[in-house]
């Protein structure tokens, strides 16, 4: 029987009343479930397609992330088939979990960077990165489960909206985003995540650049002031 890969909404509600999304892999009639960072309300899920429906906010972007997760599982199935000729659930699980351990989570990798900065005496920079992490935890309470692939352009757009709602100006938002970009660049350099997932190709921090304030008058403007007739203003 052909292996089956599907994302499902488990009907065991979480404390906040939402329901968790799992990746289900079935091989030879045996299934294994893998947790994801995603959750939703029952009426926001389409059981037939295994995706969020239009009632879920930004469902298109999140469905894209779900498809990426299924693509990854499909790639692992193919790798197991090439290595062993046949595929068993135990073999798949070993490969999948090994891939999970090698592909660092965003928060885990960020904490590693913070430790390096602290060891190098860059305390101010380290604290700046910690500020981003604290903010992200307020934005997404389960950020600790997010992989780099989950920090996509849509995620950054929503995070920007969260920051604005909480009083951040363009300069502050730009600082947060630059720190996230730095973390992502280091992860790419360290082969933690593929550069095809790089969100800053679409999300532009440059839009936050402050407009330059003109500090000096041009010659034409100065000539106008010099030639201005003030006699009519005098009593």
Reported as a single tens digit per residue, the pLDDT across 39-57 is 999 999 999 999 999 999 8
Sign of torsion over alpha carbons 79, 80, 85, 87: negative
Q: What is the pLDDT of residue 158?
A: 94
Give domain limits for the chain. 4-102, 106-208
- Cα distance between residue 158 and residue 122, in whole Å: 30
Asked if 77 and 88 count as a contact pair (C-beta separation under 8 A), the reply is no
Q: Of 104, 83, 106, whose CA–CA distance to 95 is shortest?
A: 83
Q: Is residue 221's pLDDT more than 70?
A: no
Residues whose CB is less than 8 angstroms from the CB of residue 175 and which lie 6 or more positions away in sequence, other chains included = 128
With 90 as the cut, is the pLDDT of residue 101 above it?
no
pLDDT at 103: 52
Give the pairing type, strands 4-9 and 19-27.
antiparallel
- Among 140, 146, 148, 136, residue whose Cα is nearest residue 197: 148
Give the pTM.
0.53
Percent of the chain clearing pLDDT 90 (strictly above): 55
Q: What is the pLDDT of residue 213?
A: 46
pLDDT beyond 60 at 159: yes
Q: What is the 3-state secondary structure (H, E, C) of the chain?
A: CCCEEEEEECCCCCCCCCEEEEEEEEECCEEEEEEEEEEECHHHEECCCCEECCCCCCHHHHHHHHHHHHHHHHHHHHHHHHHHCCCCHHHHHHHHHHHHHHCCEHHHHHHHHHHHHHHCCCHHHHHHHHHHHHHHHHHCCCHHHCEHHHCCHHHHHHHHHHHHHCCCCHHHHHHHHHHHHHHHHHHHHCCCCCHHHCHHHCCCHHHHCCCCCCCCCCHHHHHHHHHCCCHHHCC
Nearest Cα neighbor of 201 from 176, 184, 217 is 184
Name the token pair of 233: 């203003």
Q: Could you give phi then psi for residue 143, rounded to 5 degrees?
A: -60, -25
Phi, psi of 36 (to 5 degrees): -130, 170
């Amino acid at each position: 029987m052909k292996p089956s890969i599907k994302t499902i909404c488990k009907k065991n509600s979480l404390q906040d009343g939402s329901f968790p999304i799992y990746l289900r892999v079935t091989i030879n009639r045996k299934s294994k479930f893998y947790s994801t960072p995603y959750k939703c309300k029952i009426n926001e899920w389409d059981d037939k397609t295994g995706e969020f429906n239009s009632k879920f906010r930004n469902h298109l972007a999140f469905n894209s992330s779900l498809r990426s997760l299924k693509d990854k599982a499909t790639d692992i199935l193919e790798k197991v088939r090439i290595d062993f000729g046949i595929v068993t659930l135990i073999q798949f699980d070993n490969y999948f979990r090994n891939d999970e351990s090698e592909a660092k989570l965003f928060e885990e990798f960020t904490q590693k960077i913070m430790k390096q900065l602290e060891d190098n005496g860059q305390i101010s920079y380290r604290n700046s990165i910690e500020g981003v992490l604290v903010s992200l935890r307020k934005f997404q309470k389960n950020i600790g489960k997010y992989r780099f692939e989950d920090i996509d352009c849509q995620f950054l757009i929503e995070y920007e909206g969260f920051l604005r709602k909480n009083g951040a100006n363009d300069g502050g938002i730009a600082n947060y985003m630059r720190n996230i970009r730095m973390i992502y660049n280091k992860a790419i350099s360290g082969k933690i995540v593929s550069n095809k997932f790089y969100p800053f190709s679409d999300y532009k921090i440059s839009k936050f650049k402050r407009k330059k304030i003109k500090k000096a008058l041009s010659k034409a403007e100065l000539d106008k002031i010099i030639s201005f007739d003030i006699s009519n203003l005098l009593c």
